[in-house]
Amino acid sequence: MSTFPSDIEIAQNATLQHIRKIAEKINIQEDDLEYYGKYKAKLPLELQSENPKGKLILVSAMSPTKYGEGKTTMSIGLTDGLNYIGRKAIGVLREPSLGPVFGLKGGAAGGGYAQVVPMEDINLHFTGDFSAIEKANNLLSAVIDNNLQNPKFSLNLDPKSIAWKRVMDMNDRSLRQIIIGVGAKSNGTMREDGFNITPASEVMAILCLSKDLEDLKFRLGNIFVGKTLDGKAIFARDLKVVGAMAVLLKDALKPNLVQTLEENPVILHGGPFASIAQGTNTVIATKMGLSLGDYVVTEAGFGADLGAEKFFHIKCGQSGLKPDAVVLVATIRAIKHHAGLSSEDFKTENVAAIEKGFCNLEKHIENIQKFGINPVVSINAFPDDTQAEYDKLKSLCLAKGVTAIVSTAFVDGGKGSAKLAEKVIEEINKGEANYKPLYQKEDSIEHKINTVAKGIYGANSVEFSPKSKSQLKMINDLGFNDFSICMAKTPASFSDNEKLIGRPTNFIITVREFEIASGAGFIVPLLGDVMRMPGLPSIPNAERIDIDNNGKISGLS
């Protein structure tokens, strides 16, 4: 048996086109490109048209397992598949975060023959967007603490009220909860603070939701910082730091063009996590893709309970975008996982387990249907899958009115997703997608949380911790009731307990606390014990990553 090459081997052996050539395919002039080396370029905001004509395809997934369901692989494969069947399609996806590269996950640029390249650059600093977001976030923090330090110019901020955290794009659990300003008076005011991971920063959310530079500045100004000692709300604009934050973000606001292994255009822009943030690439990039191509494939991971729900309520809610089709990624092994099997049993054919574990995918299908769109299921093929398992899964899907199609994009690239692409086009041509939100702006925050927890997760009820109750009162007092909610929850389960696999019932969702993102226009309920700063595993992937003296990298998965 020959060994299938690793992702990085495939990427390193690929012959890349100069990014100028990729840009040509979607009618972008060379002079509009801001090169970052030969294979990456930033695109000017002007390429975004007012009313773009392209069709929007949202890729989401069943509840993911630690083995990886290949959402990005499927998104890239579908982009290649659409081009393979002669359509002008552009992938518009998130940028990977550096933190997980050194943790468990490794890279996030697709896999096998469905990758975006240059894979190494994309997984590392790329064009510096994450770093710019981090700096803008932390400049606000430095200015907040500087304001506490200088009584003469002080806004009279109550140090205990400060809601703004620092961020770092690193899996670093030791920074979750920290005491700053220790030591001499010149070291600042001592107070509790913490770092979130950069993809969880509100600045990231703002960048992803902004229409343009003006909107970006307006939103940055609306960031809630904390309260004065006499109870007045203080926003970033009160600290006169909005201009400087926007200057730091001027390039990050521009989408990035790269290519798939099949030389099709992909725009990567913005990278909020779907578990602890709103999860999808920038509105600007999506609109730009819809302006430049006939079809845009975009992704909202992790499970659709998180990614798709937020895509609908937050991204569609704020931007007016509406998907024309939804693809749900499933794998035979994830279905088996949700049937309660452990990984050593994945290799054995088990049709009964498909029947049992389908409940997870089923609930996701029902959820997408609730939003007014009938999804297509894309089964990401793995070597141990059997035809009988595929047949069972397909018939289960069909019983829900949904077509399931096997994609071999990992092994075959676009050709392997050609059938899926045909089916997606067929769905779009039906014109039946009719997105509608499950909650309205005017609904209370509690109502919004209940709607998602019961309607999407299948919970019996929602419990609010004492802390979250008092925060809820403050949120109402601040007039933030109109905001969307951006749930932070484990992606491993519909519930807030990662151990409840499949389609759990009779469970309670616990709102532990809230984070406020008034510039982004949402409230983040933290459910269960979810953390907005991950940690490294016992043996971090960092140990496997290396570069030889000739500059060749290994260990980026």
Binding residues for ATP: 65-72
Stretch of 117-125, 449-457, 459-467, 496-504 lying at the interface with its own copies (CB under 8 A): 117-125
- Residue 152, interface with its own copies (CB under 8 A)? yes
- Residue 438, interface with its own copies (CB under 8 A)? no
CA distance 518 to 513: 16
Site residues for its own copies, 518-557, by CB under 8 A, read 531, 535-536, 538-540, 542-543, 545-547, 549-551, 553, 555-556
CA distance 57 to 557: 27
Nearer to its own copies, 189 or 403 (CB): 189
- Residue 231, interface with its own copies (CB under 8 A)? no
The residue type of 474 is: M
Size of the residue set binding its own copies (CB under 8 A) = 79
Task: Give the residue, chosen from 11, 47, 122, 132, that forms a contact with its own copies under the rule CB under 8 A.
Answer: 132
Burial string for 5-23 (b: 16+ CB within 10 Å, else e) reads eebbebbbebebbebeebb
Name the token pair of 197. 């991971």
- Residue 251, interface with its own copies (CB under 8 A)? yes
Q: Least distance from C-beta 538 to its own copies, angstroms?
A: 5
Task: Give the residue, chosen from 65, 138, 497, 518, that forms a contact with its own copies under the rule CB under 8 A.
Answer: 138
Q: Least distance from C-beta 3 to its own copies, angstroms?
A: 23
Q: Identify whether the C-beta of residue 338 lies closer than 8 Å to the C-beta of residue 332.
A: no
- Residue 160, interface with its own copies (CB under 8 A)? no
- Residue 217, interface with its own copies (CB under 8 A)? yes
Task: Give the residue, chosen from 98, 209, 267, 316, that forms a contact with its own copies under the rule CB under 8 A.
Answer: 98
Task: Give the residue, chosen from 85, 155, 244, 478, that forms a contact with its own copies under the rule CB under 8 A.
Answer: 244
- Residue 197, interface with its own copies (CB under 8 A)? no
Q: Least distance from C-beta 18 to its own copies, angstroms?
A: 11
CA distance 246 to 207: 10
Strands 114-117 and 256-260, sheet pairing: antiparallel
Q: Least distance from C-beta 31 to its own copies, angstroms?
A: 9
Burial string for 428-466 (b: 16+ CB within 10 Å, else e) reads beeeebebebbbeeebebbebbbbbbeebbbbeebebee
Q: Least distance from C-beta 385 to its own copies, angstroms?
A: 34
What does the DSSP 8-state code read for residue 236? G
Phi, psi dihedral angles at 63 (to 5 degrees): -60, 125
Q: Least distance from C-beta 178 to its own copies, angstroms?
A: 5
- Residue 15, interface with its own copies (CB under 8 A)? no
- Residue 114, interface with its own copies (CB under 8 A)? no
Q: Least distance from C-beta 256 to its own copies, angstroms?
A: 13
Q: Least distance from C-beta 17 to its own copies, angstroms?
A: 15
Neighbours of 395 (CB within 10 A): 13
The three-class DSSP label of residue 165 is coil
Task: Give the residue, chosen from 5, 213, 232, 391, that forms a contact with its own copies under the rule CB under 8 A.
Answer: 213
Task: Give the residue, chosen from 240, 347, 467, 469, that forms a contact with its own copies under the rule CB under 8 A.
Answer: 240
Task: Give the residue, chosen from 4, 5, 32, 142, that forms a contact with its own copies under the rule CB under 8 A.
Answer: 142
Stretch of 235-243, 382-390, 456-464, 517-525 lying at the interface with its own copies (CB under 8 A): 235-243
What does the DSSP 8-state code read for residue 454? I
Task: Give the residue, chosen from 156, 187, 395, 460, that forms a contact with its own copies under the rule CB under 8 A.
Answer: 187
CA distance 113 to 411: 6
- Residue 411, interface with its own copies (CB under 8 A)? no
Nearer to its own copies, 229 or 547 (CB): 547
Q: Least distance from C-beta 507 to its own copies, angstroms?
A: 22
Crossing angle of the two packed helices 202-209 and 129-149, in degrees rounded to 10? 130
Query: What residues pair up with 554 in beta bridges, in sequence order?
Result: 546
What does the DSSP 8-state code read for residue 97? P
- Residue 9, interface with its own copies (CB under 8 A)? no
Q: Least distance from C-beta 127 to its own copies, angstroms?
A: 8
Residues 6+ apart with CB under 8 A from 389: 332, 349, 350, 351, 354
- Residue 465, interface with its own copies (CB under 8 A)? no
CA distance 79 to 76: 5
CA distance 160 to 170: 26
- Residue 214, interface with its own copies (CB under 8 A)? yes
Nearer to its own copies, 176 or 454 (CB): 176
- Residue 508, interface with its own copies (CB under 8 A)? no
Stretch of 211-219, 366-374, 388-396, 494-502 lying at the interface with its own copies (CB under 8 A): 211-219
Nearer to its own copies, 148 or 325 (CB): 148
Stretch of 141-149, 260-268, 335-343, 385-393 lying at the interface with its own copies (CB under 8 A): 141-149
Neighbours of 251 (CB within 10 A): 15
Question: Looking at the chain, how many residues does it have?
Answer: 557
Task: Single out the residue of 316, 336, 332 nearest to residue 324, CA to CA.
Answer: 316
- Residue 21, interface with its own copies (CB under 8 A)? no
CA distance 527 to 16: 43
The residue to which tokens 């552009």 are assigned: 90
Task: Single out the residue of 110, 55, 24 nearest to residue 413, CA to CA.
Answer: 110
Task: Give the residue, chosen from 153, 344, 383, 431, that forms a contact with its own copies under the rule CB under 8 A.
Answer: 153
CA-CA-CA-CA dihedral for 246, 249, 254, 259, to nearest 10: -170
What does the DSSP 8-state code read for residue 496? S
The residue type of 218 is: F
